[in-house]
Structure 1
């Protein structure tokens, strides 16, 4: 988490225990201790007991004395349990990020464990009833799942899965597919199936090659070198950020015209898609293929910019949340070391969003989305045999990118220089220590 480096940070106190807050966690301002406690309690489905009257005092020194009352206050103050991801990614479904107000009855069901039992029964009975598309599910569920959401105690029938997959890939399935990929075959009592030797289908390889060829992977041309000792002003840094955004947007427009499916959609649909996703595309490219420049040269420029006290005091809560999430995503991508092939697939999947209003070919977009979803899965499982969680890790980044892009719209333009300074400095410093 990130704290604004001024006396304003000292005034940010945890709404649960009064300790120094480190940011917005699961919808409310809180400290690292209460953030971790809430996540462990919900993920592990803990049921606590209070030995007193369920009204214990919560403070930094006393918060560990009664876990029941601590969790109770987390819920009463609006901590959002749907914003928790068990894999460590902050946030949750796009519609469930902020604080929530829940009834006393629901709080009681959570505290007694009844809510956890009801959820388990629901997924056991209805886990395979949702047939929304992978691209859509990635932004709405806690675990991406092509085609449908599976109960943890069931598997997709192999023949049915292959037939479903063949429909959207537009090709026959090679006979050497002797197992169901790990996203489709797991149970509550057995580990994931071990990776099997496999090869990448020629058509999948060809489509990935076409996607990568459509990308302009040359270094950004916008000058980002500043003389030593020069103090960059807010206006100068903002102008540089605008020039970078212009260049990145121009590259996205050129990219669209080179896509292998360019002739399959109308110009109107491409216009709708680009106008709705351009910020996400720029963000994704900045965190991956252009990250060395962005977190290198641009970070050096932002280091020469010193925000005023007024800028620090006026920095918004929306900006704080964006900072925290951008830093998390950067480290996630840095850890994964996303390849050009994976980046190209992720970008196509994110772009082909059939839920955007005004589209004339939503069903065709859905099929294209699924095609590249499965191609990306094939590639990662073929290339990274010993990283069985790599594909879901990549896909889980897409809804986070969409959420951040949507949040950045609410950040005042004059705050962007400070936002980028904090993000780039934090990321560059942490990576240099590795």
Structure 2
């Protein structure tokens, strides 16, 4: 029996996986048992010795992003006879025994591998040149709904022209909360005066260069405004609202600065290397005037140029924001499992979307490139925090909301 099919399988070594003709007993006479259901195993699949049934079940579940619910106590016994009775516990058992989601190949990769196999068997036949997205990568109704929710929240709480921006002093903190009071995620900051960038860049008679003393208050106010918008965006997401308030605050503190950078990229002009907010634009030179170090600014600019060149759709931008939001690794949260499940759902939706909506060669490795950029973005957030604190430690006192985010 062949141990590896078109689905992804891996072997830890030829000596340890050599089988008899039955395929379920190795040369030493040790029976191969599925780690999930105890049925006869056919080999290592996704890092674990499993049967074909559990291999296929795990792959379908991950690819389609299905969310199962156990009708009992989430402790069902999984055996060959009972494995179909509770899909939720069967999937959890797959994870518990060590099956790895990152080893699952996309439908496109599988299709290309099959084409290469056919080409080796029949060299006279060439693989097709035209890319056609496989039907299996179509977005599910649940994924379409997720994108719709995130897109609506983004449009509602991101003012790309900054027409609604007003200067703010931030008198509230994220953690202030008492019975019957407003939620700490509902900061209401009174506008002091309408936003007019000319106040910072021109006098009544002649144009003047802004100095750090005039730019710092502006930067503090702008940061507060952006943070507010991210908070409101997060609160529009049902899976975020359902979390305990402590987890909501932790996730926001861990992700807000990164989400702001993703939003800034939507208004970035790669031809002029400027960020355009309606009629106004800013460059890294403005950041230098604030006191940000040149090395950090150059790294930041490179990030935005690289991300912009990927030509992301609006749906991909909003999915990236949500993916960053539900990233609990660097913060303390109570409902870790629930947050992990939400992040997994968002990640699978993003991968399916990129595979489906970007034809080759544009879409080649696009999802992998996004993951690498997110890792770079996390490093930039750390440097950004250091730079803010280095520039002026009194800056955070101008906006307690910013201070709370970077604490």
> Where on the TM-score scale, by shorter chain, does this alignment land: which range?
0.5 to 0.7
**TM-score with structure 2 length normalisation?**
0.53
- Residue 161 of structure 1 corresponds to 59
In angstroms, what is the RMSD of aligned CA positions? Answer: 4.0
1:331 matched to 2:308? The reply is: no
**TM-score with structure 1 length normalisation?**
0.50
**Larger radius of gyration, structure 1 or 2?**
2
Structure 1 unaligned residues grouped into runs of 5+: 1-122, 127-147, 151-155, 173-178, 417-434
1:409 matched to 2:385? The reply is: yes
- Residue 217 of structure 1 corresponds to 158
1:285 matched to 2:211? The reply is: no
Question: Could you tell me how far apart the structure 2 residues matched to 1:256 and 1:206 are?
Answer: 16
- Residue 371 of structure 2 corresponds to 395
Where do residues 11-410 of structure 1 align in structure 2 (5 Å cutoff)? 125=12, 159-166=57-64, 168-169=66-67, 180-182=106-108, 195-198=132-135, 199-215=138-154, 216-218=157-159, 219-220=161-162, 221-222=164-165, 223=195, 224-225=197-198, 226-227=201-202, 229-288=207-266, 290-291=267-268, 295-296=275-276, 299-300=281-282, 319-386=293-360, 387-410=363-386
Number of residues of Structure 1 aligned to a counterpart in Structure 2: 254
Question: Could you tell me how far apart the structure 2 residues matched to 1:320 and 1:337 are?
Answer: 27
Question: Could you tell me how far apart the structure 2 residues matched to 1:180 and 1:393 are?
Answer: 15
Structure 2 unaligned residues grouped into runs of 5+: 1-9, 14-45, 49-53, 70-86, 88-104, 118-126, 166-194, 393-407
Q: Which has the higher strand share?
A: 2
Contact residue 280 and residue 401 of structure 1 kept, 8 A: yes
- Name the CA shift for 1:200/1:257 in 2 (closer, same or farther; >3 Å): same
- Name the CA shift for 1:301/1:239 in 2 (closer, same or farther; >3 Å): farther
Question: Could you tell me how far apart the structure 1 residues matched to 2:321 and 2:388 are?
Answer: 27
DSSP 3-state at the match of 1:337: coil
Greater Cα offset, 364-373 or 157-166: 157-166
Contact residue 226 and residue 260 of structure 2 kept, 8 A: yes
Contact residue 107 and residue 134 of structure 2 kept, 8 A: no
Q: 1:309-354: per-residue Cα shift (whole Å, max 9, x none)?
A: xx7xxx7xxx344223212211112211222210111111111113
Contact residue 329 and residue 397 of structure 1 kept, 8 A: yes
Question: Could you tell me how far apart the structure 1 residues matched to 2:258 and 2:287 are?
Answer: 26
- Name the CA shift for 1:304/1:238 in 2 (closer, same or farther; >3 Å): same
Offset, 1:167: 6.0
Offset, 1:378: 1.4
- Residue 21 of structure 1 corresponds to none
Higher relative contact order (CA 8 A, sep 6+): 1
Contact residue 273 and residue 352 of structure 1 kept, 8 A: yes
Q: 1:164-185: per-residue Cα shift (whole Å, max 9, x none)?
A: 345655599xxxxxx9334678
Contact residue 280 and residue 402 of structure 1 kept, 8 A: yes
Offset, 1:190: 5.3
- Name the CA shift for 1:264/1:168 in 2 (closer, same or farther; >3 Å): farther
Question: Could you tell me how far apart the structure 2 residues matched to 1:407 and 1:303 are?
Answer: 18
Contact residue 231 and residue 305 of structure 1 kept, 8 A: no
